[in-house]
Structure 1
Amino acid sequence: MPASPWPPPFEATLRSYLPLLTPEQDLKRDLVLVNYGLDSLAAVGLLLDLEDQFQVTISDEHLNAITRIDAYGLWAAIESVRQTAGTEPALADEVGRARGAAGQLPST
């Protein structure tokens, strides 16, 4: 199995918000979060936990985007925010790239 593109704490936190992802299933880069049970209410908790864990701030306007993005897109957004010291457009940009690559993602 290839090395994960994100640290174990990110995967553990994300898995805790994906009730339809079994422990036996790999958390793949292209796993769309909403398809594994992340709804808008859970996204609030996930956002808060990731902000605390990685010392970043992602604006509330991006909550809907979090449910529509894939696992790698969420990690890439976290990394981008960390690297740019608090600027927040990274998540929206990542969702835009995901939509362009995969067509329109399903709405929640």
Structure 2
Amino acid sequence: MSERVVPWDSGFESLLRAYLPFLAPSTAIEPATRLSLLGLDSLGTVNLMVDLEDAYRIEFPDGAIGRALEADASWLWTTVRELSTGRTK
């Protein structure tokens, strides 16, 4: 059996899982699943973004919270990677 490959690092996964109360510990985070469906609410989104800013030494742009409220893990990780490498859309 092959190990599942995820598109993000383990630190991101750990931070994200802490804010997903509907996700069982043994369940994989699917990149395209809306995080709100896994229990991420507006307060959790703000706190997660602050934790990601601290962990990756980034700053989300104004307005990112609105997009993050409807985001999936793939969008959030892509945004973190772009901000941490200096590339933004």
Is the pair's TM-score, using the shorter chain for normalization, greater than 0.5? yes
What residue is the counterpart of 2:23 in the other structure?
Answer: 21
Establish whether residue 30 from structure 1 lines up as the match of residue 32 from structure 2: yes
Aligned residues: 87
What residue is the counterpart of 2:55 in the other structure?
Answer: 53
Structure 1 runs, 4 residues or longer, greater than 4 Å off: none
Q: SS where residue 21 of structure 2 aligns?
A: coil
Give, in whole Å, the separation in 2 of the partners of 1:21 and 1:60. 29
- Identity rate, percent: 33
Structure number with the bigger relative contact order (C-alpha 8 A, sep ≥ 6) is 2
- The residue identity in structure 1 corresponding to 2:25 is P
The RMSD of aligned alpha carbons is: 1.4
Task: Give me the TM-score of the superposition, normalised by structure 1.
Answer: 0.74
Q: Which ranges of structure 2 fall in alignment gaps of 5 or more residues? A: none
Q: Which ranges of structure 1 fall in alignment gaps of 5 or more residues? A: 91-108
CA deviations 1:61-101 (Å, max 9, x no partner) are 2112112111011000110111226x5xx4xxxxxxxxxxx
Task: Give me the TM-score of the superposition, normalised by structure 2.
Answer: 0.88
